[in-house]
Structure 1
C-alpha cells in the first residue's frame, strides 16, 4: 500500500465523533482534534503502523508544517530573497526584514504543524505501550514503533525550540511547551526552560537509539538518525566534546547504509524515487510521483534563492596563509540549473527541489539530516571542544569539500591547509555548511545565531555582519503566534520583544 493511502487511513484514528472514514477525502479536510476513537483505535500491529504513518505525514506539505518550516530559516538569513514581489504579504516582508509578525499563516502553520506531529506521536506511544507483545506479528516491533515515535517527538520539540525558543542559551526560561502526553482536551500548559526542553529531547533520542529499528527506509526514523540528531542537539547546547564523540561515532560506525554519496548532484536527482534511499540521508521525507512535497513549488515563484547567496558561492574567497581559497565551484552552479514555472522573472532557480516541468519534476525529497552535516558538526564540535584545529577536524571539513570537487592545488577551490587558525577554521565550517546545505532546512540561520551568541550578542562575530537587517537579537527567534497565545488564555508566555 502506498504511503499516501496509509496517510488517509490514519486520519480515521484521529477524528472526533466519526464512526467511519471516507478515504476519498484529503487528510486536510478532516479536523484531528481530541479523538475519543484514538483511545481504542490502536489495537494491533496494523493499526499501530497506520497511526505511526500519520506522524510522518506531518513532514509533508499536506496538513503539515512544510514547506514553511524548512524555508523560514533561509528567509531570515538572506539565502531566500522572497520570490515574485506580487505574491509577498506583510508576514513575508516581516520575515525578510527580520521583524517577524505575531500574526500570519506561515508562522502559525509551523507552530501548529510541529505540535500536531508531537501529539500524533504521543497517541502512538500511549496506544502502543498499552498493547501486549503477542498482538505483534513481527518480533520487537512494539518497542520499535515506540522508539520511532519518540524520535519524531524529539524532532518536533527540537524544531519548535530552534524556531520559537532561545535555543542558544541553556539557562534561558524561554524554552517551549513540551508535550509528553496526548492532548485529550484543550488544556494549555506553560513553557518550560531551554535546559528542560533539551533534557526532554535528549531523553527521547536516547530511548529511540535503544529501541528504534536500525533501518527500514530512509523516510522512517532509525537509530542512526537519532544519533545524528543527538550530536546536533549537543552542539546547539554547547556540549562540544560530547557532540564530537557522537558525531564521530555516526561517521565511523554506521556502515555502508549511512555514508557520503560520491557526487553532490546525486543527492538531488528528481527523475527517480531512488533518491529517497541513497546512503547519505539519515532521514528524508517521503514523496512519490503523484504527491510532491511542495518545496519545489515554493522554491519557484513564492521563494527564490538570493543573488547574494549565489554570488557568494561563485565568487567568494578567503585568504589563508597568503593563499586565496574559493568557497565553492560546483554546488552553487548546480543549484542554479533549476528553473521557474513562469520564465523571465529574473529570479534564481533551485535544483535541490523538484522542478515544475520536465524530467526533473517527477520526485523530490527534503533531507531532515544527512551525513555531510554530521561531518561538519564533528568538525566544529571537535574544534570548539579544544579551541584548536585537530587533523581529524580538518579532515572532516575537507572531506565535504573534496566531495564537491576541491583539490590540493595552491589556490582556488582547494582544501583548507593545515596552517588554518582556530578562528579561521570555525568560519570555514560555517561557510562550508552555507555552501553545502543552503536552502535545505535553514541551518544557515541557526548557525549565524549560534556563532553570534558564542562570544556574546553584539560583540565579535554578529549576525548583522551577514544580514544587515538582523540587528535585534529578540527577533532572532520567531514569536509565538498571537492566535495560539489567545486561545490558551495567555498561559504560554510570549517571547521578549514581541
Structure 2
C-alpha cells in the first residue's frame, strides 16, 4: 500500500513554525533538515512536541495541495488546463493517473506518522512530559488520523453506502514495513473514524491559542461532517449546533468580511483547522493560477443577484464569487482565496482551510432540514452566511421550504469553492439522496463508477490483497 516508514524526515524549520516566531527566535537563524530515526523520535517533552508538529506539517505536502485543481474539475466548479486536467474534467480518472497516487500516499503518510507519535506517547517515551499534555497530544493525533482516514474514504471508497465492502485499508497501528492488507468495509471505516473523534472530543486540547492547531472543537466539527456523510442527520444537526453555540467561548468567530478569512490565512479566527504557513519556506505549493470558474458556478453566482455579471469588476455577481474570481479583485494568484505572495519571506502565506466555521453553519442547515425538517433553524444558520455575503436581511425568508435544501447546497458551493473541493462531494451526496440527476449538472458523469477515484495502480502493485474499485 505504501513504502516502509523507516525514517521520519521533516524540516526543523517547518515543524517549529507551528508555535511562533517568539518561541524559536529569529526565523532566519534556524537550520533546516533534521533527520530523525524512528526509534529515537520521541525522548522527552521537547521532542514529543516537535514530533507532533511534524504530523501537522504533513498537511502541507505537495500530494495534498497539487490535487486541488483536479478535484475542482471533477465537479465542474472550475476549469483549466494541466497534465491530468482532461481526465478529471471528463470524469475519466484512471488508476495510473499520478496525482491520485500522490494524494493517496500523502494521506497514508499522515495516518502512519500520527500512529507513530501516538504509540510512542502511549509507551511513555516522552520522559518528563506533563501527563495532562500527553493526553491532549494523543487526542490531537487521533483527529489527524480520523481526518486522513475520512479523506481517503470519501475519495477512494463508496462513502455514501455503509453496506458497501469498498472502504479503504484502515491503518490503526504504525507500519514498519510494507504489508499486504485487504480493504475494510465502509461501515468499519466509519466506526474507526468516529471512535477516534469521540476520544479526541474528550481528550484533545479544550482551548488552543492558534487556529491552525486542532482542538476538541475541531474534533466535534469534523464529527458533525462525518455524520452528515453517514446520513445521520439528526446527530449531525445536534453536534453542529453544539459547535456553533460553543465556538465563541473558545475563540472561534466568523470574520466580518468574507475575504478577510483568506487574507488572515492560518491566523483567521474562523479556522477550525488549516496548515501553518509563513513566508517562502513554510508554504504550500499550489497550482491554481490558471483556473477559471466553470459555467455552472458562474450562472449560480449571476442568478443569485439577478444581475448581468461583469467578470472585470465583479458587479452583478455574488460577492464571494466576485472577490474570488473577478479580474480586478482576484489578486496576483488569479484567485482571491490565495492572496499572498508565497515567494516572499517574512509574510503571511496562503493556506488551505480543511475546516472553517462557516462550513459548520452550512452543515447544520442541511442536517436540520434532512433530519428534523427544521426549516427555521436551517434559515438561521444560512442567514449567518448570506448576511456576510451581502444579501438582504430578509433574503432567507424569501426561500420556500421546498427550495431551501438546494439553496443551502448552492450557497455552500459559492462559500467554499476552490478550497477543499467540498462541492464535488456535495454533488455526489445530493445525487445519492435522490435530490437531482447528477448528469444534468455535469454531463460527463454517466455512471456511478465515476463517483469515486480508482485505487492508484502503484497501491495495487504493492498490496496484492487490495481490490480495485468498480471501473
TM-score under structure 2 length normalisation: 0.86
Question: Superposition pairs for residues 42-61 of structure 1, below 5 Å?
Answer: 42-61=42-61
Q: 1:131 to 1:399 in 2, by over 3 A?
A: same
Kept in 2: contact 1:6–1:53 (CA 8 A): no
Kept in 2: contact 1:474–1:496 (CA 8 A): yes
Contact 2:224 2:237 in 1 (8 A): yes
| Paired residue total | 436
Q: CA deviation at 1:8?
A: 6.9
* Pairing partner for 1:437 from 404, 408, 416: 416
Q: Deviations over 1:104-131 (max 9, x none)?
A: 2210110000000100000001111011
Matched, 1:284 2:274: yes
Per the TM alignment, residue 419 of structure 1 is displaced from its structure 2 partner at its CA by 5.8
Q: Are residues 1:312 and 2:306 paired?
A: no
Give the counterpart of 1:202 among 186, 194, 200: 194
1:298 aligns with 2:287: yes
Q: Are 1:80 and 2:78 an aligned pair? A: yes
Question: Corresponding residue for 2:309?
Answer: none
Residue 479 (structure 1) aligned with residue 454 (structure 2): yes
Deviation at 1:6, TM superposition (A): 4.5
Pairing 1:399-418 to 2, within 5 Å after superposition: 399-408=384-393, 415-417=395-397
Q: CA deviation at 1:219?
A: 1.5
- Asked if 1 retains the 8 angstrom alpha-carbon contact of 2:11 and 2:32, the reply is no
2 CA distance for matches of 1:157 and 1:114? 8
- 8 Å contact from structure 2 (residues 15, 50) kept in 1: no
Q: Give the superposition deviation at 1:261.
A: 1.6
* Worse-superposed segment, 123-132 or 435-444: 123-132
Q: 1:405, 1:249 → 2: CA distance?
A: 26
Establish whether residue 395 from structure 1 lines up as the match of residue 393 from structure 2: no
Distance in 2 (CA, whole Å) between partners of 1:399 and 1:328 is: 19
Given that 2:79 and 2:293 are in contact with CA atoms closer than 8 Å, whether structure 1 keeps it comes out as yes
CA distance in 1, matches of 2:135, 2:115: 14
Evaluate the alpha carbon distance shift between residue 168 and residue 184 of structure 1 in structure 2; reply closer, same or farther with a 3 A threshold. same
Preserved CA contact (<8 Å) 2:104 2:456: yes
1:128 aligns with 2:128: no
For 2:125 and 2:177, the matched residues in 1 are separated by 27
Following TM superposition, by how much is the alpha carbon of 1:371 offset from its aligned partner in structure 2, in angstroms? 0.8
Compute the displacement of 1:443 (Å): 0.5
Aligned partner of residue 175 in structure 1, secondary structure: coil
Aligned to 2:312: none
Separation of aligned partners in 2, 1:356 and 1:225: 28
1:464 and 2:453 equivalent? Answer: no
Partner of 2:175: 183
The CA distance in 1 between the partners of 2:125 and 2:112, in whole Å, is: 22
Q: 1:68 to 1:445 in 2, by over 3 A?
A: same
Q: Secondary structure at the match of 1:282?
A: strand
Runs in 1 of length 4+ with deviation above 6 angstroms?
Answer: 357-361
After TM superposition, the structure 1 = structure 2 runs for residues 65-214 of structure 1, keeping only pairs within 5 Å, are 65-83=63-81, 88-89=82-83, 91-131=84-124, 135-136=128-129, 138=130, 140-214=132-206
Helix, strand or coil for the counterpart of 1:408? Answer: coil
**CA displacement, residues 235-279 of structure 1 (integer Å, 9 cap, x when unaligned):** 00000000000000000112241121211011121xxxx532222
Post-superposition Cα deviations, 1:412-438, rounded to whole Å, max 9, x if no partner, equal xxx22266123x111001001001000
Which structure 2 residues correspond to residues 207-286 of structure 1 after superposition, within 5 A?
207-214=199-206, 215-256=208-249, 257-269=251-263, 274-286=264-276
Distance in 2, matches of 1:178 and 1:329, equals 41
* Contact in 2 for aligned 1:379/1:394 (Cα 8 Å): yes
User: Taking structure 1 as reference, are residues 112 and 241 closer, same or farther at Cα in structure 2, changes over 3 Å only?
Assistant: same
CA displacement 1:11-61 (0-9 Å, x = unmatched): xxxxxxxxxxxx96668xx8xxxx9x3134312111111111111111113
Unaligned runs of 5+ in 1: 11-22, 319-325, 342-348, 410-414
- The verdict on how the C-alpha distance between 1:358 and 1:483 changes in structure 2, with shifts beyond 3 A counting, is closer
The answer for the alignment partner of 2:361 in structure 1 is: 375
Structure 1 residues 107 and 152, CA, compared in 2 at 3 Å: closer, same or farther?
A: same
CA shift for structure 1 position 485: 0.2
Contact 2:42 2:125 in 1 (8 A): no
TM-score w.r.t. the length of structure 1 is: 0.81
Tell me, which stretches of 5 or more residues in structure 2 are unaligned? Answer: 1-9, 18-29, 307-314
**Are the counterparts in 1 of residues 262 and 268 from structure 2 also a CA contact under 8 Å?**
no
Q: 1:132 to 1:160 in 2, by over 3 A?
A: closer
Shift of 1:220: 1.6
Alignment of 1:329-344 (within 5 A): 329-336=318-325, 337-339=329-331
Q: Which residue of 2 aligns with 1:344?
A: none
User: How far apart are 1:150 and its partner, in Å?
Assistant: 0.6
- Residues of 1 paired with 2:364 and 2:377: CA distance? 9
Separation in structure 1 between the aligned mates of residue 302 and residue 340 of structure 2, nearest angstrom: 22
Residue pair 2:121, 2:134 contacting (<8 A) in 1 also: yes
C-alpha root-mean-square deviation of aligned residues, in Å? 2.7
